[in-house]
């Protein structure tokens, strides 16, 4: 993948051009980028960060537990400050270089006939794999007919040589490699443009935890409200402990319409300008307190920014085993601890310990183990506890994603086009000026660097066999 040396002498602009399109400059850029990423990973992340946290284990427990705990949380590369600036510089240089190389390849694609020498330097081995004298009579039209019109997966193209005193006919199968190379570079450019679009115009609201009945106003899409209507649990693979949960959501639009959808693992729903992605689910406890007459008390969670309500949902995040709330009118503080199991107390599965305190006394007013939906009384107060689940969503909108994916598809297709068909260039020469008869001419065949020497010689022999076959 290098570039032929410039023909000009002392032309500084041309020298700069050839420097920036040269393969070695690209190699240097790629190596610097790789080194930057590797160093950032090795220096900024500890071993504990590079390993998945214990929370990424599936904790499945008879339907109440975490599911597919966020596998995306342990990020090991964090860019900020000078290294981010350096990374942006490298990306900028990469885009600039790709633009130049794409332009260069475009010239080759459009003017391959005039640029055969340069294409030969780029895609073919320097020495011919075959050089001989044609003993059988072959005409220009004969070559064209036997190679050009005959089909096959990768057909040859035949044309006369230009500006040469001898009669020359070229048969090339070089254009696929040139097209593939162009597609490769253009696709890389599209990928980088997509990353740029994502960085500047894509948005995401991460880790929105919603319990059944809760709503969330999307900050980046005013007027849109996401609500979780419920959770559906079903087992997978016939195993009791392998459950999958999907969330039934409603998206309220500014025009008053409501879109109801189901969001599952790797099965997002798209509502308006954004998508809703299910990240994980977790256990929650729904709690309400009433007096004998049935009048509910207002409960206040001790989490920042929470509002009092007659029914509270306590969400137990992966790294959070306890929750606290208060009953302001009674001066009671409730603390709930979640345990995966308490075998010493006879609980083989998840269990909650509810304790009540008054004032700053260290001894609880009461404590109770809860492992199922339950209603119990204490000193005239009715405590209604229900086990529930919450869902963690991401909301995202990103046009750049489509560019990035298209770029990668183009990259793969371009790469296959570049590598699969062996690039071949055959030159038939005759000392006669009219080019009508190449019977006593020379033939040279160049092949690309693909395959072994035997394969490339085989390609040359196959080409010559097809040319000579017309005389049989």
Size of the site for other proteins (CB under 8 A): 63
239 sits near other proteins (criterion: CB under 8 A): yes
Cβ closest to other proteins, residue 239 vs residue 304: 239
Contact 195, 398 (CB under 8 A): no
Q: Are 419 and 256 in contact (CB under 8 A)?
A: no
Within 99-138, the residues that bind other proteins by CB under 8 A are 126
408 is an interface residue for other proteins by CB under 8 A: yes
Answer whether 327's CB lies under 8 Å from 348's CB. Answer: no
The answer for residues whose C-beta is within 8 angstroms of residue 210's C-beta and 6 or more apart is: 216, 226, 227, 228, 390, 391, 393
- 227 binding other proteins? (CB under 8 A): no
- Number of H helices and E strands in the chain, helices first, is 9, 20
Site membership for other proteins, residue 452 (CB under 8 A) = yes
Q: Which of 45, 148, 272, 364 binds other proteins (CB under 8 A)?
A: 45
Of the two residues 433 and 452, which places its CB atom closer to other proteins in the complex? 452
Binding residue (CB under 8 A) for other proteins from 178, 411, 443, 460:
411
Q: What is the spatial distance between Cα 408 and Cα 30, in angstroms, rounded to a whole number?
A: 17
Query: Cα angle vertex 126, ends 123, 132, to 5°?
Result: 110
* Beta strands in 316-462, from DSSP E residues, in sequence order: 322-327, 332-339, 351-358, 366-370, 374-378, 381-397, 424-430, 442-447
Cβ closest to other proteins, residue 75 vs residue 465:
75
3-state class percentages of the chain: helix first, strand second, coil last, to nearest 5:
30, 35, 35
Alpha helices in 60-129 (DSSP H): 82-110, 116-123
58 near other proteins, judged by CB under 8 A:
yes
In the chain, the N- to C-terminal Cα span, in Å, equals 40
Binding mask 62-81 for other proteins (x = CB under 8 A): -----xxx-xx-xxxxx---
Q: Does 219 bind other proteins (CB under 8 A)?
A: no
Among 87, 225, 262, 265, binds other proteins (CB under 8 A): 265
Residues in contact with other proteins by CB under 8 A are 1-2, 23-24, 26-28, 30-31, 33-34, 37-38, 41, 45, 50, 57-58, 67-69, 71-72, 74-78, 126, 198, 204, 236-237, 239, 241-242, 244, 265-268, 275, 277, 279, 394-396, 398, 401, 404-405, 408-409, 411-412, 415-416, 419, 449-453
């Amino acid at each position: 993948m290098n570039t032929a040396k410039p023909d000009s002498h002392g032309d500084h602009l041309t020298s700069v051009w050839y420097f920036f399109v040269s393969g070695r400059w690209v190699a240097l850029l790629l190596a610097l980028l790789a080194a930057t990423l590797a160093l950032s990973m090795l220096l900024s992340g500890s071993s504990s960060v590079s390993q998945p946290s214990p929370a990424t284990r599936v904790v499945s427990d008879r339907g109440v537990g975490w599911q597919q705990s966020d596998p995306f949380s342990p990020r090991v590369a964090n860019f900020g400050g000078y290294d981010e600036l350096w990374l942006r510089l490298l990306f900028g240089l990469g885009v600039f270089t790709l633009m130049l190389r794409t332009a260069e390849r475009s010239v080759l694609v459009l003017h391959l006939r005039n640029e055969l020498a340069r294409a030969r330097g780029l895609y073919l081995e320097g020495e011919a794999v075959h050089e001989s004298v044609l003993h059988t009579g072959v005409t220009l039209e004969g070559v064209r007919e036997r190679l050009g019109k005959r089909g096959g997966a990768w057909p040859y193209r035949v044309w006369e040589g230009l500006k040469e005193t001898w009669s020359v006919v070229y048969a090339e199968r070089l254009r696929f490699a040139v097209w593939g190379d162009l597609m490769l570079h253009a696709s890389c450019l599209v990928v980088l443009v997509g990353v740029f679009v994502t960085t500047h115009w894509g948005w995401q609201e991460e880790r929105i935890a919603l319990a059944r009945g809760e709503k969330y106003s999307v900050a980046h899409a005013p007027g849109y409200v996401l609500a979780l209507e419920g959770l559906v649990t079903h087992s997978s693979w016939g195993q009791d402990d392998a459950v999958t949960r999907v969330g039934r959501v409603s998206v309220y639009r500014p025009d008053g319409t409501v879109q109801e959808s189901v969001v599952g693992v790797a099965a997002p729903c798209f509502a308006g300008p954004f998508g809703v992605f299910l990240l994980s689910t977790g256990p929650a406890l729904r709690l309400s307190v009433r007096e004998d007459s049935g009048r509910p008390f207002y409960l206040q969670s001790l989490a920042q920014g929470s509002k009092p309500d007659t029914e509270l949902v306590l969400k137990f995040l992966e790294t959070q085993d306890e929750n606290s709330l208060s009953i302001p009118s009674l001066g009671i503080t409730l603390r709930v601890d979640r345990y995966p199991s308490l075998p010493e107390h006879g609980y083989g599965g998840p269990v909650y310990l509810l304790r009540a305190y008054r004032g700053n006394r260290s001894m609880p007013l009461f404590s109770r183990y809860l492992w199922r939906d339950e209603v119990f009384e204490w000193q005239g107060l009715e405590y209604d506890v229900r086990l529930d689940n919450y869902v963690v969503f991401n909301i995202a909108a990103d046009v750049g994603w489509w560019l990035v994916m298209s770029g990668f598809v183009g990259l793969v297709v371009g790469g296959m086009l570049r590598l699969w068909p062996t690039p071949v260039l055959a030159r038939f020469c005759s000392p006669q000026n009219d080019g009508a008869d190449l019977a006593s001419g020379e033939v040279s065949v160049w092949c690309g660097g693909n395959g072994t020497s035997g394969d490339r010689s085989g390609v040359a022999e196959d080409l010559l066999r097809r040319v000579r076959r017309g005389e049989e």
